[in-house]
Amino acid sequence: MLNVSCVKDPAIFKLNNLNNNKIGCFGHAGMGFYSIYPINTWVSFESCLKRGADGTEMDIQITKDSVMVIIHDKFLEESTLCSGIIGDWTWEEIKNCKIKSTIFKNEKLMSFDDFIAKIPNPKKYTFTWDCKLNTFGNTAYYKMYARTLINTMNKYDIGSNVFIENPFDDFLQIIKDIKSDTKLFILADNFEDGLSKAKQHDFYGLSMNNKNISSTQIKTAHDSDIRVTIYGLRWEHENYTAIEKCPDFIQTDNINYILKIFGKYNKGNGLLYSVTK
């Protein structure tokens, strides 16, 4: 068993986890739900990565013709000027849908292909794909979705740089059956349930809201070689207490604060450029 713990020095955190004793700092859908940037857009992702983040979480849905689209809401009209469900359209039919924003009026719906084309060195970052399903319990749909994810990872040779999140262990197991080394995280509201499923399927990790997991539970997960991602973080004190729990990764809506704590913040000095903007 691993003896994983975390104590705070007056000036720094001393970390001991399964991520080389470091916490991976990821933006939540880019700069987060509370920034001026619309979530899941290039301007939000670019700002997040330029500031020094290790990567970013993004919400993924699949079109009718198996294109990965970066969008959170089930219905297009919730966040774009188009309408309908992603899975009912081809990418060609919706690729010009504009994002609702009073500031960034020219931002469009983005495919993962669009996103990766703008990153000079994608292997420098880790991307968490929070997979949104529009059909549940449909094995054929799950397999189509899984193949699309795996084909994309293979296309860009980024398998080791992608985490996949979803609350349905049967969906994640289908991905694992096709590509056994995929880094799969079970999303859970209850720690015992999530840990049980992660151990049963030998998943890479467990993703939980900060309010639903304790430092003791994270240590228990680590003892079973299960990595832990914490999300649901906005205010400084929430981010601070999340760090004290010693997770392996943090997805935050306040990426600036986390980066400053770990000395990674480099606003204005980033080397990330829009290649095809």
CA distances from 228 to 33, 137, 251, 272 (A): 21, 26, 11, 28
pLDDT digits (tens, 9 = 90+) for 222-234: 999 999 999 999 9
Mean pLDDT of 205-220: 98
Coil vs helix vs strand at 229: strand
- In this prediction the pTM is 0.93
Predicted local distance difference test score (pLDDT) of residue 11: 45
In angstroms, the CA 109 to CA 101 distance is: 12
256: left (phi over 0), alpha (psi -120 to 50) or beta: alpha
Structural domain spans, the chain: 15-66+123-261
pLDDT digits (tens, 9 = 90+) for 113-132: 999 999 999 999 999 999 99
Q: Choose the weakest-confidence range: 39-53, 60-74, 258-272.
A: 258-272
Residue 163's Cα: distance from chain center in Å? 7
In angstroms, the CA 241 to CA 257 distance is: 12
| Cα-based torsion angle of the residue sequence 48, 49, 53, 54 in order, rounded to the nearest 10 degrees | 140
What is the CATH superfamily name and number for domain 15-66+123-261?
A: Phosphatidylinositol (PI) phosphodiesterase (3.20.20.190)
In angstroms, the CA 192 to CA 136 distance is: 23
pLDDT beyond 90 at 13 = no
Predicted local distance difference test score (pLDDT) of residue 12: 64
pLDDT beyond 90 at 4 = no
Higher pLDDT, 63 or 269: 63
In angstroms, the CA 222 to CA 227 distance is: 6
Q: Residue 89 gets which letter from DSSP?
A: S
Percent of the chain scoring above 70 in pLDDT: 92
